[in-house]
Structure formats: structure tokens, C-alpha cells
A and B are shown apart, each in its own frame.
Chain A
Amino acid sequence: MSKDQVFFDEMFAKGVDPRNPYQSIHEWVSSEDPKALTKKAEEAEIFFRRTGITFNVYGDDAATERLIPFDIVPRVLAAREFSKLAEGIEQRVQALNAFLHDIYHRQEILKAGVVPTSLVANNIAFEPKMIGFTPPGNIYTHIVGVDIVRTGEDDFFVLEDNARTPSGVSYMLENRETMLQMFPELFSSNRVRAVSDYPERLLKSLRASKPLKCEDKPVVAVLTPGIYNSAYFEHSFIAEQMGAELVEGHDLQIIDGRVAMRTTQGYKAIDVLYRRIDDEYLDPLNFNPDSMLGVPGIFDVYRSGGITIANAPGTGIADDKALYSYMPEIVEFYTGRKAILKNVETYRCSEADSLKYVLENLEDLVVKEVHGSGGYGMLVGPAASKKEISAFRKKLEANPDNYIAQPTLSLSTVPILTKKGLAPRHVDLRPFVLVSPKKIDIVPGGLTRVALKKGSLVVNSSQGGGTKDTWVLRD
């Protein structure tokens, strides 16, 4: 891949005139005094700090809270672009849930030889305790974040599926709130679809997946590991916005076959638990016995229909990076149609031919851990030094099954505001999807992550990425 290739810029395409969806934003930026805009950008930061929209960085001092940098130039998607994306996402999410049900029941996809049995049987994300159990409403992934990248006018790819506990939705909401406060005039001159009702939609969606034993209006709670977790702000934000309680493991007890929270008036049963802790910490009796974060016995309550856990335990098998490469086949297997959204070409290092190719082309590839997330433990070949590549080569050779590799994508760019004016930076997109027995609900917006460093392709906030408000325009 050539280093000086031209990237698709979402504002200017490859020319100098702004593309249609960006015309009004371009006019706005061009007509404003750059200094005034820079000042506004600083105000945004103060706003975020005052509101306490922070995340904790692992590995740092426990008390460290950082802001995710926010860029004030919105990322804009035309109605047509988004509806096409939404169609593809809906199909994919449908397939993910069908796959999960199948894999924990009859395993027809394995019998048909579409996905190799070994990939599931030997996978730590596969949860044997879920075998034969159907969660309330047959929904496994109540909340999904599908990471999308773009390389051209009509070229969208799914980079990964986040089917466990996708985060970032609070930034989507706060970014919009910030823009509305700072630049209200932009919203009267552009027809931007609202995202602010996400919390109500989430609550409705969660309630629609109520468990068997729930007879009344379902009580929803959000389970957090606590105030030192990197995403605590988001946990509290979501709970607050839904009007739900934010609980920790030590607030909960099993009483009369239900999971109940300790309130000022005694214990009160929870019907739907939106948990923001990983499977293994959920229940020390059934999973990791050392966990202090979960609720002993919650899994037994779950199996007896006493509670809905969102997302269901064991959904990690569906967003596993090794399985990702089979997604086009998985989608076709369950929906009977070709996948609308394309996958990024993926080399499975567990296969000898692929491994050979990957080892020969490390400097051009992105290599990821199968179970990794957050941009940790990955190699970005074109940006890595010789030393880093050779160190990574050793890790890869020692444990090839643990890795997949993808070509470095020519991620599209959207301009950010720099001291020298607009400058293109690479972006991705995480739309948020709500799944209930009633419907698949896709929020018209999402979280745009942007690599702030010139030329960088890594957008993760833990690696110096920022965010942008994401606009989906009305027809």
C-alpha cells in the first residue's frame, strides 16, 4: 500500500467543493473568525470538565480523570447514507442474535460446516452455562455498537461488532448537548435528527425484554463496577437519564428467587439488569469465584426466569474477532440474504497460509488480538518501528491462534479545527442499536471517533483519539 495515497474526505471528497451534506457546515466554518472558533472550542472543554464528562485511564493513578478531546466540526451523514447503513446494521444484528441462539442450542451452523466447530468449542468467550437456555424474549444482545469505517462515497465496512457492553453512548449524547448549547444557530439552519431520546428508547427496549417472573411494570437497574471504573461517568449518566437506579454488587442480594436491591425501604426486586461488568465478574458462584463486583447466585435467578441480564452472558462469542471473519457467511446463513454491509478482509492467523502471509507483510497490516479491545495489544504495521514489528512478530509466532490481521484501511477523513484552520483527520463511526422482542431500533446518529494526530489511524480514546458530534440529516 502506498504511503501517500489519497483518502476519501467526507467534507470535500477528493475535490475542493464541499459534498452536499457538508455544504452548510462548510459555509459556517468559512464565515466564522478562526480565532473565535478556537475560543469556542476551549469553552467546550471547560463545559465538559464542569459537567464531569471524564473517563479514567487504566494504568494511571486511580484518581486520574481525563477528558476525551472534543472537536466542534460535526460529522455529517445524509439521510440516504444513514438509511442504507441502518438497513445493513439491522440485518447484521438480527444475524448476531440468531447465531447466538443457534450456538447455544442446536448448533446448526456448526453442523452445516459454515463455522468451524473448533472456533466455538475452544473459545473462552463461549459460555457453556448458557447451553440450552433461552433468555427472556430470546434476545441476547440488547445493546449493540457496530463499528463502521468508510473508505469511499459508497464504501462502508464493519470493523467490529460490539455485542458485550458497548460504551460511548454518553459521549454521543453529551457531544450533541454541547453543540446545541454552543452553536444553537447551526441546528436551525440544518435539519439534524435528534438523538436525545436515546435513554427513553433504551428504557423501553429493556422493559420489552422483561423476564417471566415480572408481573408489574419492569424495574430496570444499571450495574456498575463502581466509581473507579473507566466508564463510570457513562454508567451514572445512563442510569440517571433512564431514571433507573445505579447499583453495585454490594447493593444486591438474592431474595425469594429474585435479585433485589437494598433501598431505604427494604429490598426491592429488579426485573431487568443492564450490566456494565464483564461476564466473568457477574456471579462469583457461577463464574470467577474471586469477583467482588457481581452478585452471588444471579445466574441461577437468571436461568429460572427471575431477571433479564442485558446483554446476556456468553454474547462475547458473537463479537469475537476470530469469528468476525465468518460474519458474511453467518449473515447469509440466518437471513438468507447476502450481507448488506461488507466485512474488512481478514486473515486468520490460526490458518497456516494466512499466518505465512501475515508474517511476510507485517509492515502493511493491522494485527489484533482475538479477544482484545480498546486498541490495546494491537500492531499498526505502517506506523510501527522495525523494533516494534520484530517484537510483535515473536508474540504472533508464539501464539498465532490469538491473532487476526487486516489490511490498513484507507479510513475516510473529516476535517477538525486546528490552530491553522481545518485539517483532515481519520474517523470511524459507532452507531448504537437497541434490540428487543418488538424491534431493532437504531439511533439516528452515533459516536464518531477521530484520530487527532495527523496521519494516525488509531481513533481509540485510550490512544489519543477524540470525538465529534455526529449528524444524521433529515430527508
Chain B
Amino acid sequence: MLGKTAGGLFWMFRYLERSENTARILDAGFRIALTRAATSEDEWSSVLTTSGMRETYLLHYDKFDADSVINFMLRDKKNPSSVIVVSEAARNNARLVRTALTREVWEAVNENWINLNDALSRPVRQKELPAVLGLIRQQSALVRGALHGTMLRNDIFDFARLGTFLERADNTARILDVKYHVLLPSVSLVGSSLDNVQWETILRSVSALNSFKSISGGELTPREIADFLILDKRVPRSLGFCVGKIATNLDYLAKDYGLELPCHTRVGTLKGALAEITIDNIIEDGLHEFLGDFITKITELGQQIEVDYRFTN
């Protein structure tokens, strides 16, 4: 496979994952804002922080109101992570690697772009938001379905999955990092209902509220939530799950190509560290520090993969 193609697949699936994550984060933020009008500015500001776009936003707007943030995140071309920009980037990458995709996957990505462009051609009003976010999630599920149902399980599939899980791990870590203060034990002692809403938001942002309830018996404690989203390998958006998948796909590549590369060492170290550490260690040493360190390592791993598999010259 061409290095360029590997890179195109990797980025195509990073962008698709990002678009879906943005929809989730917005959905969670919207719910909080609806239930607590007084502090909704903070909530919208934290939506922007989570996606790393707060500074870009402040170049163009001076307050955090629902309409501005929603449209900035969904359809503003000035926001390089907005759904409309990202879905076009995903499609451009798909065009670039079209020879590596099945017709079904290509059509799903192309339709994703056509339908989102259509849905986002006018400003999105709050009453339309749930339907639009639903569409974004549905479209990305269609791409995923096409990928799983039609693609060969070879290096093409591996690079697609690597993009997905790197983006997802990065995203979950960022969501946790923005909200880490509500997960700290000292704060949780307060045990107010306000915090409960915040925890719910975190779980909603990763589509895991109900799974969490079914596992934990409905008890929302900060320690449990952190454990669930960082170390629990049953949770498809936890850091442990994502790193495990990255390691597996890199392992397939190593076997396929008969070649171990620096990225394999890196992922091995990261996976080993996550296997040994407990949630109590993490909280003791500082959740924020742990997450910051994780984001750095996952970014470096991504860069190493790009170098090892010659995405660019």
C-alpha cells in the first residue's frame, strides 16, 4: 500500500470519529444548558474547551451563547474542527484513497458529506439540534457499518482503525480532562446534585450513561466513573479499550509486514502502563497530570505511526 494511502485512511477515520465526537459533546452540553439556564455560559464554554477550539472561537465571538457555539461547532468554516469542515476533510481523504475503499464505504462517506452539507447549509436552530445531531451520529454509524461489513481485514482496515482509536482515545481523555475537577474526590465529598448532572454529562459525551448504570448498579461515584472511562476494557470509548485496539491493529501490521517498528515499542509501553496502574494510583498522583501525560503520549504515538509507515515524504 502507498504510504500516502495509509495516511489518507488514517486521517479519513480520524475526521469521521471527530465529527461524531463533536456531535456527542454538543448533545451533552445542550442537555446541561437546557436543565440549568443560569450557568449555561460555562457549559458552552466547556464544550469549546473540550474540542480545543475555545481560543479560535474567541477570535470571532465574545460570549458563549447557545446559538453561536452550536453553529460554530457544526457549520463554521472558520473552525477547522467543525462538523462541516471535518466531514469534507474526511471525504477528500476518501477521494484520495478511493482505490483502497469498497464501493459501500466510499458511498457512505460521500453520502455523509452530501447529507451533512445539506443539513448544515442554514443556521441550525435549537429546536432542530437534536435531529441534526442524530443525523451526524447516524451517518457515521453507516460508514462504520460499511467498513465492518465490506472491507477486507488487511492493512487497509488496520490503518482505518488506528485513525479511529487514536482520535477516540484523545477525545475521551480531553472530555475527562475538562471535567476532571468534578471527578476529584475532595469535590465529590460535597455530593451535591449539581455534580451528579456534571457526571452524567461526561458519560453522555461518550454515549456511556446507560452502560455505566448497568455495570455499576446505578451508583455515580467519581472514582467509579474515572475507572470506567480510563481503565475498563469493556467500554468502547475508554482509554484502555482504545489503546488495546491500537496495539492490536499495530500488531496485525507487524505480522502482516514482518516488521516491528518504533511505534510498536511505544504502544507496548503505553499499554503496559495502563495495565499496571489502578484508578486509586491515578487519583493519588493527580488525574489532570495523568490525562495530560496520556494526551502527549497518544499524540506522539500518532506521529510515530506516520513516520514508521511513511505517510509523507
Give A contacts to B, CB under 8 Å.
49-52, 227, 232, 236-237, 239-240, 244-248, 250-251, 261-266
Check if B110 sits within 8 Å of A52, measured CB to CB. yes
The one of B3, B103, B114, B257 in contact with A251, judged by C-beta atoms closer than 8 angstroms, is B3
Looking at B68-76, B93-101, B244-252, the stretch in contact with chain A turns out to be B93-101
Give B contacts to A, CB under 8 Å.
1-6, 92, 95-96, 98-99, 103, 106-107, 110-111, 114, 155, 159, 253, 257, 259, 309-310, 313
Check if A264 sits within 8 Å of B95, measured CB to CB. no
**For residue A268, which residue of chain B has the nearest CB?**
B2
Check if B95 sits within 8 Å of A246, measured CB to CB. no
The one of A240, A244, A247, A262 in contact with B310, judged by C-beta atoms closer than 8 angstroms, is A262
14 other contacts beyond A262-B3, A264-B2, A264-B310, with CB at 8 A cut-off?
Answer: A49-B114, A50-B111, A51-B103, A51-B110, A52-B110, A246-B98, A247-B4, A248-B4, A250-B4, A262-B310, A262-B313, A263-B2, A263-B310, A264-B1
Shortest CB–CB separation between residue B248 and chain A, in angstroms?
Answer: 17
Check if B257 sits within 8 Å of A227, measured CB to CB. no
Shortest CB–CB separation between residue A64 and chain B, in angstroms?
Answer: 13
The one of B4, B92, B155, B259 in contact with A262, judged by C-beta atoms closer than 8 angstroms, is B4
Shortest CB–CB separation between residue A145 and chain B, in angstroms?
Answer: 22
The one of B1, B99, B155 in contact with A236, judged by C-beta atoms closer than 8 angstroms, is B99
Check if B6 sits within 8 Å of A227, measured CB to CB. no
Shortest CB–CB separation between residue A341 and chain B, in angstroms?
Answer: 36
Check if B99 sits within 8 Å of A239, measured CB to CB. yes
CB within 8 Å for A264 and B309 given contacts A236-B95, A245-B99: yes
Contacts of B99 in A (CB 8 A): 236, 239-240, 244-246
**SS of A interface (majority):** mixed
Check if B98 sits within 8 Å of A240, measured CB to CB. yes
Shortest CB–CB separation between residue A343 and chain B, in angstroms?
Answer: 39
Contacts of B310 in A (CB 8 A): 262-264, 266
Contacts of A227 in B (CB 8 A): 92, 95-96
CA distance A227 to B91 in the complex (A): 11
Contacts of A265 in B (CB 8 A): 257, 259
Check if A264 sits within 8 Å of B3, measured CB to CB. yes
Shortest CB–CB separation between residue B200 and chain A, in angstroms?
Answer: 38
Contacts of A263 in B (CB 8 A): 1-3, 310
Contacts of A261 in B (CB 8 A): 2
Contacts of A262 in B (CB 8 A): 2-4, 310, 313
CB within 8 Å for A251 and B4 given contacts A51-B110, A262-B310: yes
Check if A52 sits within 8 Å of B4, measured CB to CB. no
Check if A264 sits within 8 Å of B107, measured CB to CB. no
Contacts of B2 in A (CB 8 A): 245-247, 251, 261-264
